[in-house]
C-alpha cells in the first residue's frame, strides 16, 4: 500500500471526521497498523494545527492482558486512560488484527469485567460522549478473506470505500434525518418472517456521514423503549467478542426480547449476551444503512452496518444523541439486508413506504440511492 493512499485517508480522518482545530489534543490509538499510516495520521493532525498523542496496542497481546485480569488491575488501567482521554478533544482509533477471533478464548466473565470496568468509563462514557472521535478497521489478509477477495482487491475496495465523497453523502442524508425526526410509527418488513413495528417519536436522529466511523453511511435513532413488537430475523452474519453468529432471530413484546435463537450452536451464547443486564434485552438503536460501495457482509460491523439497502437493530445501550433511556454494558448492531438480491423488504414511516428492496422511493431521498451516491467500484 502506497504512502499516497495513507496520506489521503489520514486527511479524511483529521479534517473531515475529527475536524481538528488548532491547539486541540488528539489521541491516535492503533492496533497492528503499519508505521507509515501512523506517521501519516500524526502528520495530518499536525497539519490541521492539532497536537498528536499516540497509544500503540497489540491485538495478539490483548487476550493475555484481559484474560485473568483482576478487577483492581482493570480499574487502575481505566483510571490512567480515563485521565488521558479527558484531556483529548479528538480520538482516532485505527484497528488492525490478523485474527478477528483473537479474543474468543477469553472467559466470558473476564470479557464482561473488561467491558464494565474499562470500556464503559473510558470509551462509552468519556470518549463517545465528550470527544470528536472516529474509528476504523485497517485492511489485512484476514479481512480480505472474510470478504471473499484477494488481499490486493480488498485493499483497492477499502480505500475506495473509506475515501468516498462524504461531503456529498452529508448533503444527501439530511432529508432522511428530517423524515426520521418527524416520524412516529416505523414498520420493517423483510425476509425470514421479519415484521417489526415500533415508534421513534420524540427520539433524536443522527446522520452519520464520515464523522464517527470510516467507512460511514447510516442514519440512526432509537425506538421508544417499550414500543417494539414483532419478529426480526437478521440475514447478515455477525461477530461479537470474537464469536460468530448466523441467522439471529429475535421476538419482541413491549420492547423486550422474549425469544432469541441463532443458527448452529449459537443460541446459548446469544442468550448469555442478552442476559448481561436488564437493558441488554431492549433496543438502543435503529439505523438505516446506505453506503453505495458496500453490498455484502464480512463480519466486520464497521462495514456491515453501512451496507446499501440495510438496517440495523441494536440490543443494548442507546447513544446520548438519540437516547431512549436504555442503559446496558452491551451495544450489538445486528444487520438485516433488504435489497432484492438479499430477499427484499420495506421500511414504512407512518404508513408511507420510504424504501423498497433497498431503493429509496420519495424524490427527496433518491440522492441516497447507489446510482447517485457513487457506486463506482466493485464491492465485496
Condensed to tens digits (0 to 9), the pLDDT of residues 48-76 reads 999 999 999 999 999 999 999 999 999 99
SS3 (DSSP) at 320: helix
Report whether pLDDT(298) > 50. yes
What's the pLDDT band for 252 if we cut at 50, 70, 90? very high
Q: Mean pLDDT across the chain, nearest whole number? A: 93
The count of C-alpha atoms lying within 13 angstroms of the C-alpha of 145, restricted to the half-sphere facing its C-beta, is 7
Task: Give pLDDT, residue 107.
Answer: 93
Task: Give pLDDT, residue 313.
Answer: 96
State the DSSP code for 232: E
User: Shortest CA distance to 26 belongs to which of 8, 10, 46?
Assistant: 46
User: Of 1-5, 59-63, 160-164, 180-184, which gets the smallest average pLDDT?
Assistant: 1-5
Cell numbers 423503549: residue: 225
Taking only the tens place, the pLDDT of each residue in 36-53 is: 999 999 999 999 999 999
| Sign (positive or negative) of CA dihedral 9, 11, 12, 14 | positive
CA-CA distance, 348 to 190, in Å (whole number)? Answer: 12
Report whether pLDDT(353) > 90. yes
Task: Give pLDDT, residue 376.
Answer: 55
SS3 (DSSP) at 289: strand
What's the pLDDT band for 378 if we cut at 50, 70, 90? very low
Task: Give pLDDT, residue 285.
Answer: 98
State the DSSP code for 18: S
What's the pLDDT band for 2 if we cut at 50, 70, 90? low
Cα dihedral 31, 34, 35, 37, rounded to 10, equals -100
First to last CA, the chain: 19
Complete domains list, the chain, with CATH? 3-138 (3.40.1830.10), 166-373 (no CATH)
Task: Give pLDDT, residue 380.
Answer: 47
Amino acid at each position: 500500500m502506497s504512502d499516497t493512499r495513507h496520506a489521503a485517508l489520514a486527511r479524511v480522518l483529521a479534517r473531515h471526521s475529527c475536524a481538528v482545530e488548532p491547539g486541540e489534543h488528539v489521541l491516535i490509538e492503533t492496533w497492528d497498523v503499519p508505521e507509515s499510516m501512523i506517521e501519516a495520521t500524526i502528520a495530518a493532525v499536525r497539519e490541521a494545527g492539532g497536537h498528536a498523542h499516540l497509544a500503540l496496542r497489540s491485538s495478539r497481546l490483548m487476550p493475555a492482558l484481559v484474560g485473568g485480569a483482576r478487577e483492581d488491575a482493570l480499574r487502575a488501567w481505566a483510571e490512567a486512560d480515563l485521565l488521558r482521554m479527558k484531556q483529548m478533544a479528538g480520538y482516532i482509533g485505527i484497528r488492525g488484527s490478523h485474527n478477528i477471533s483473537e479474543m474468543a478464548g477469553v472467559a466470558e466473565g473476564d470479557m464482561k469485567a473488561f467491558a464494565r470496568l474499562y470500556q464503559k468509563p473510558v470509551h462509552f462514557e468519556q470518549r463517545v460522549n465528550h470527544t470528536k472521535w472516529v474509528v476504523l478497521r485497517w485492511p489485512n489478509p484476514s479481512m480480505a478473506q472474510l470478504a471473499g477477495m484477494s488481499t490486493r482487491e480488498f485493499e483497492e475496495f477499502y480505500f475506495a470505500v473509506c475515501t468516498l465523497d462524504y461531503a456529498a453523502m452529508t448533503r444527501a442524508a439530511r432529508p432522511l434525518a428530517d423524515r426520521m425526526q418527524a416520524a412516529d410509527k416505523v414498520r420493517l418488513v423483510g425476509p425470514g418472517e421479519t415484521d417489526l413495528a415500533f415508534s421513534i417519536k420524540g427520539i433524536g436522529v443522527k446522520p452519520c456521514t464520515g464523522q464517527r466511523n470510516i467507512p460511514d453511511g447510516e442514519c440512526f435513532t432509537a425506538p421508544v423503549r417499550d414500543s417494539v413488537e414483532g419478529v426480526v430475523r437478521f440475514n447478515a452474519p455477525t461477530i461479537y467478542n470474537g464469536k460468530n453468529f448466523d441467522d439471529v432471530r429475535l421476538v419482541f413484546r413491549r420492547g423486550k426480547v422474549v425469544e432469541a435463537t441463532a443458527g448452529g450452536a449459537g443460541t446459548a451464547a446469544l442468550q448469555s449476551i442478552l442476559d448481561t443486564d436488564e437493558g441488554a434485552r431492549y433496543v438502543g438503536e435503529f439505523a438505516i444503512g446506505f453506503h453505495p460501495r458496500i453490498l455484502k457482509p464480512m463480519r466486520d460491523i464497521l462495514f456491515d452496518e453501512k451496507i446499501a439497502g440495510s438496517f440495523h437493530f441494536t440490543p443494548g445501550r442507546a447513544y446520548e444523541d438519540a437516547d431512549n433511556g436504555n442503559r446496558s454494558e452491551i451495544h450489538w448492531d445486528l444487520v438485516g439486508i433488504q435489497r432484492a438480491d438479499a430477499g427484499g423488504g420495506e421500511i414504512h414511516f407512518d404508513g408511507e413506504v420510504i424504501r423498497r428492496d433497498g431503493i429509496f422511493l420519495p424524490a427527496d431521498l433518491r440522492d441516497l440511492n447507489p446510482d447517485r451516491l457513487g457506486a463506482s467500484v466493485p464491492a465485496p
